[in-house]
Structure 1
Amino acid sequence: MSHTILTILTLLAGVLVVYHHLGYPLLLKWLADRRKETPPVALPQRAYRPAAADAERPVVAIVIPAYNEEDHVADKLRNLAMLDYPSDRLRVVLACDGCTDATAERAWRVAREPECRDLSLQILEFRQNRGKVAVLNHVIPNIDCDLLALSDVSALVSVDALLVAADCFQDPKVGVITGSYRLFGSYHPQVGHQSGESLYWQYQSEIKRKEGALGSTMGVHGAFYMIRRDLFEPLDLDVINDDFMLPMRIVARGYRALYEPRILALELESAGLDLDRSRRRRIAAGNMQQLVRLGALLRPSLRGVAFVFASGKALRALMPFLLLLLLGGSAVLAVHSRVFLALFLVQAVVYLTAFVVQRIGPARVVWPLQALHYLVQGHLVGLVGSVRYLLGLERGRWRRANLALATPAPETPGT
């Protein structure tokens, strides 16, 4: 009986592994291709010149939580000052969360530059670091706007991003908009190909586009996304991946999250291997948290949303455990079955190859091996992150603090 149960569980794990990595993307492509996508509406050629329609455009507020971002804050503010959107309909709030460097000072300096004089900028300086979620919960309720954009300091945004988003939000069913995410300097001239992380995000962008065709894209990237301001609800302080929890709670209420490839967020900050592993571990812990707290997205009434959440995010959270079950089960069953022996050897070769690539250095191998290494490493780090969350070791780094410690700095002249 135990042999039969192990066989069934191992085969089920194998089927789910193959489905998540190959079957789901192919099925998603087939389903998305069957649906006729509505062609994007051509944007007016505003070209930074005032237009009659400007008075009717929604008021947009861009909130930028920042912690020790002195290296990127100047480029970020200059980028926002160049966005093609009427200046009287745009607000920018930079929330410095207990920064110990010169983030605020550099922001003030840039705000006085001629190219930034029309940027309606408010700089909030919090003396105590409380974490991103606490800052968002404190800042956003005090902002009066139609559309709310959340963006990282280290990400530059395409100049017509707000025009594109405002056009998309004319559909009352759209509650969230995300764009394409790209890494600056991700191409390696030495090996003639892109990094594994860059390839991964290109793959994820294509998945998001196809998910959107079925009802709603699953998740956004915190580099830049937008929501309707009146749909914001404060988050629990222990939320790990706020850039998933916040938009998907809006989706659970019946709104769509739209992927718009005409909106581009370019990440300037390059993460080292240690930082990348730490980030991916945290994302994995967040994925497990999302599976626990956003079960409402699995309701059959949500149809396409439930399908993509179960096939994508839910299985991604469970994937490290399924891979462990597949490896362990096939190892045990290999004693009595050549099929399971072959299955075990295939897995062993894959993991051994990833280990060798790790030792050699991912940047020194051809891109298929680099992609394989990135995938295997991601699942390994994902296992650590998921276990840490289940054991209560990864519940977010946000700390409660006395809001009286928050001291808003005066706005820039003319705001």
Structure 2
Amino acid sequence: MIDITIAACFAISAALIIYHHMVYPMVLSWYAKRHPAAKIKHVERGYKRGQDDVECADVTILVPAYNEEKWIAEKIRNLASLDYPKKHYQVIIACDGCTDRTVQIAQDTIQEAICCDTHFEIRAFEQNRGKVALINDQMKTITSEITAMSDVSALISIDALLVANRHFQDRRVGAVNGHYQLLSCGSQGEEKYWHYQSDVKQSEACLGSTLGAHGALYMFRTKLFEPLQHNTINDDFIIPMEIIRKGYSVHYDQNMVALELEATNTDNDFKRRLRISAGNMQQAVHLADLFSPKYKGVAFAFISGKGLRLIAPYLMIACFALSIALINHPVFLVGTIAQASLYTLAALGHVFPKIFSHKYCQLLTYIVAGHTANLIGGLRYLFGLESTRWTRVQ
């Protein structure tokens, strides 16, 4: 009887792991092909002025910055080059107690000829309060219909505002999420993972809304913003999800691109994923009501994606422990050996990336490292060890 109970627990844990990693993406893809999200007509304007310009929504681009001297000049030049009526958008660079040359470089760059037609404000604050406090403070000053959030290290496509504007013509749309793309990946595993995430985001749109956004670029109706709790970790997820709570939808458009310039390596990527994982645990607690069936497609995606991702490392540990408990049975002996082999291969791929460089080995390493970060990050949040301050990963 005990063996049957252990075997049943193993089967349930393994089924949930397989569902999250394989079945859910397949179901999403299948459903998306049969229920495609509404297509937005994209028109190439090429900086030409037209009658539609007067109908463009006013946009404020808010760029929170902390010690970004390496990227700030390119970011400002990028924002000055956007194909959008100049009188309908402005840029706020909010520098949160920077200790490097970010403020000076920003002030010098906005004097360049390329920036002369764009309204820039460099707001330099002496005290470092943290990103969440900075966003809450700056949102009080924004009166435009639309607010765009964008990381300093991400360059956005020149027609991004035009693309988003067409989505916002539908009054039911509360936010629009852009496509995140890496200029340089730390590994083939990381590259494949982000392709997977983009496919999921695109498929989620057919369910009514994508979940959250990426801080590199997303836009929302200013009036829908709710001040963030001071300890918020993943602000780029909480803000769009709060908008969904209000009954609005969040769209995803792969033509609204944010190109990440900052290259990653194994160490800084793991630190970043630790923080994101802590935020995932926090948002599951804070947004628990979105698991309710009344949110339909959003609840399905939230449970199948974010929810199962949170408990996946615990399920993996359970599978390994339960298979060891039944190791006298041939099937579980094979299962134990298979799991041990996969985890060993992932560890070797992390320690010796040049030797274990096959794309599937790197993908396995990246996935296992992600679940490890998920486990540690979640526990860090639960035990109150995660800071909400800015972190600069070198």
TM-score band w.r.t. shorter chain: over 0.9
Shift of 1:363: 8.2
Moved over 3 A (4+): 1-5
Q: What's 2:87 paired with?
A: 88
Indicate conservation of the 8 Å contact 1:281/1:382, yes or no.
yes
Aligned with 1:65: secondary structure? strand
Residue 273 of structure 1 aligns with an amino acid whose one-letter code is T
Structure 1 equivalent of residue 256 of structure 2: 263
| Aligned match of 2:331 | 339
CA contact (8 A) 2:348 2:356 kept: no
What secondary structure, in the 3-state scheme, does the structure 2 residue paired with 1:142 have? coil
Q: Confirm or deny that 1:109 pairs with 2:108.
A: yes
Pair 1:301-2:294 in alignment: yes
* RMSD (CA atoms): 1.6
Which residue of structure 2 aligns with residue 185 of structure 1?
184
Q: Counterpart amino acid of 2:28?
A: L
| Residue 32 (structure 1) shift | 1.2
Q: 2:17 is matched with which residue?
A: 17
Q: Of 381, 388, 393, which aligns to 2:380?
A: 388
Deviation at 1:342, TM superposition (A): 1.7
Q: What is the alpha-carbon distance in structure 2 between the residues aligned to residue 232 and residue 27 of structure 1?
A: 32
Residue of structure 2 in register with 1:397 after alignment: 389
Farther off after superposition, 276-285 or 50-59: 50-59
Is contact 2:282–2:381 with CA below 8 Å preserved after alignment? Answer: yes
> Post-superposition shift, 1:2?
4.5
Q: 1:325 to 1:351 in 2, by over 3 A?
A: same
Residues 32 and 206, structure 2, Cα contact 8 Å, conserved in 1: yes
Q: Is the Cα contact below 8 Å between 1:66 and 1:97 reproduced in 2?
A: yes
Alignment pair present for 1:251 and 2:251: no
8 Å contact kept, 1:195–1:363: no
Q: How has the CA–CA distance of structure 1 residues 290 and 352 changed in structure 2, closer, same or farther, with 3 Å as cutoff?
A: same
Deviations 1:56-91 (A, max 9, x none): 210000000000000000000000000000110001
Unaligned runs of 5+ in 2: none
> SS of the counterpart of 1:92?
strand
Cα distance change, pair 102–363 in 1 and its aligned pair in 2 (3 A) = farther
Following superposition, the deviation at residue 197 of structure 1 comes to: 1.6
- Rounded to whole Å, the distance in 2 between the matches of 1:368 and 1:321 is 23
Bigger drift between 61-70 and 289-298 goes to 289-298
Amino acid at match of 2:18: V
SS in 1 for 2:384: coil
Distance 1:281 1:362 in 2: 24
Equivalent in the alignment of 2:233: 240
**Conservation of the 8 A alpha-carbon contact between 1:252 and 1:296:** no
What is the match of residue 72 of structure 1?
Answer: 71
The corresponding residue for 2:220 is: 227
Unaligned runs of 5+ in 1: 189-193, 399-415
Verify the 8 A CA contact 1:54 1:86 in the aligned structure 2.
yes
1:376 is matched with 368
Distance in 1, Cα, partners of 2:197 & 2:150? 19
Q: Is the 8 A contact 2:349 2:361 kept in 1?
A: yes
- Once residues 163 and 145 of structure 2 are traced to their aligned partners in structure 1, the CA distance between those partners, rounded to angstroms, is 15
The one-letter code of the counterpart of 2:159 is: D
Counterpart contact for 1:362–1:373, Cα < 8 Å: no
Structure 1 SS opposite 2:256 = strand
Q: Is the 8 A contact 1:111 1:121 kept in 2?
A: yes
Residue 206 of structure 1 pairs with residue 205 of structure 2: no
For the residues of structure 1 that align with 2:2 and 2:69, how far apart are their CA atoms? 59
CA distances 1:321-344 after superposition (whole Å, capped 9, x unpaired): 111111111111222x22222221
CA contact (8 A) 2:42 2:163 kept: no
2:354, 2:56 → 1: CA distance?
Answer: 47
Name the SS of the counterpart of 2:147 in structure 1.
strand
Give the C-alpha shift of residue 36 in structure 1: 3.6
- How far the C-alpha of 1:38 sits from its partner, in A, is 2.7
Helix, strand or coil: the match of 1:265? strand
TM-aligned CA deviation for residue 202 of structure 1 = 1.1
1:218 maps to amino acid: L
Q: Distance in 2 between matches of 1:363 and 1:213?
A: 41
Aligned residue pairs total 391
Displacement of 1:4 after TM fit? Answer: 3.8
Q: Which residue of 2 aligns with 1:348?
A: 340
Aligned to 1:367: 359
213-222 vs 100-109, which moves further = 213-222
Amino acid across the alignment from 1:206? D
Show CA shifts across 1:311-358 (max 9, x none). 0011111111111111111111222x2222222111111101111112
Offset at residue 364 of structure 1 (A): 5.7
TM-score by length of 1: 0.91
Aligned counterparts of 1:363 and 1:256: Cα–Cα separation in 2: 46
The question of 1:141 aligning with 2:140 is answered: yes
Distance in 2, Cα, partners of 1:363 & 1:96: 43
CA apart distance, 1:99: 0.1
Aligned to 1:120: 119
Q: Distance in 1 between matches of 2:179 and 2:27?
A: 22
CA separation of 1:363 and 1:259: change in aligned 2, threshold 3 A: farther
Q: After TM superposition, list the pairs within 5 Å mapping 1:266-281 onto structure 2.
A: 266-281=259-274
Counterpart CA distance in 1 for 2:235 and 2:2 is 42
What SS is found at the alignment partner of 1:105?
helix
Deviations 1:132-154 (Å, cap 9, x if unpaired)? 10000000111110111000000
SS of match in other structure, 2:140: helix
1:208-230 per-residue CA deviation (whole Å, 9 max, x = no partner) reads: 00011111111211000011111
Change (3 A) 1:216 1:2: same
CA shift, 1:271, in A, is 2.3
